[in-house]
Each structure stands twice: as structure tokens, then as C-alpha cells.
């Protein structure tokens, strides 16, 4: 477990804590339904705000769509490359 696993203050409600959990990632991309169970995310224990790992999303986009999604992946994942990403 890395430090982030202990959670952080929820950016939405500022009351709860977002802690590392797994949930089902569901999204629609270019008209296709994405459904990925057991996806690591940080979930607020108060308002249930869900924030998925940006690294994970970037990797997912690359994996699924390759060059087609490269521009989108950059906007989703940003330019930061965290070296503290947990190994699970
Ligand atoms: Zn919250």
C-alpha cells in the first residue's frame, strides 16, 4: 500500500475522505460502452464521489484505442507521470 491508500480529503464535499477501493468503471467512448469491473478508484465515504486513477485511465485509453485516442488520453491523463503509483 502506498501513502495514497490512506485517503485524502474529498475535493467535492470536503468532509469525507476518498480512500482506495475498487469499483466498476463505466463510460461511453465514441459510442462504445466501456465496463471494467474491479477498477481501482478513490471513493469518498460521505458523498461517494469517485475519482479514478488518472494513470489507469491514460493506460486504458492507450490500450483500447491507441493512436486514435492519444489526444483524448492526454487531456484525461494530463502530463504528470506519478512515480508514487501503488503496486496494489
Ligand atoms: Zn465527498
Dihedral sign for Cα atoms in the order 11, 69, 40, 6 = negative
Per-residue confidence (pLDDT) for residue 60, from 0 to 100: 80
Per-residue confidence (pLDDT) for residue 49, from 0 to 100: 95
Q: Tell me which fold the domain 3-76 belongs to.
A: Ubiquitin-like (UB roll) (3.10.20)
Ranges of each domain in the chain: 3-76
For the chain, count helices (H), then strands (E).
Answer: 2, 4
- Taking only the tens of pLDDT, the chain with its 88 residues reads 455 557 999 999 999 999 999 999 988 878 889 888 999 999 999 999 999 888 888 888 888 777 665 555 555 554 455 455 554 5
Per-residue confidence (pLDDT) for residue 30, from 0 to 100: 81
Residues with CB under 5 A from ligand 1 (ion): 10, 12-13, 16, 44, 46-47, 49
Amino acid at each position: 500500500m502506498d501513502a495514497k491508500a490512506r485517503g485524502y480529503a474529498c475535493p467535492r464535499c470536503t468532509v469525507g475522505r476518498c480512500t482506495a477501493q475498487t469499483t466498476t468503471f463505466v463510460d461511453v467512448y465514441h459510442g462504445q460502452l466501456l465496463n471494467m469491473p474491479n477498477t481501482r478508484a478513490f471513493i469518498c465515504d460521505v458523498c461517494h464521489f469517485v475519482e479514478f486513477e488518472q494513470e489507469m485511465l491514460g493506460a486504458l485509453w492507450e490500450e483500447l484505442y491507441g493512436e486514435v485516442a492519444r489526444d483524448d488520453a492526454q487531456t484525461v491523463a494530463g502530463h504528470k507521470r506519478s512515480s508514487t503509483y501503488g503496486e496494489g
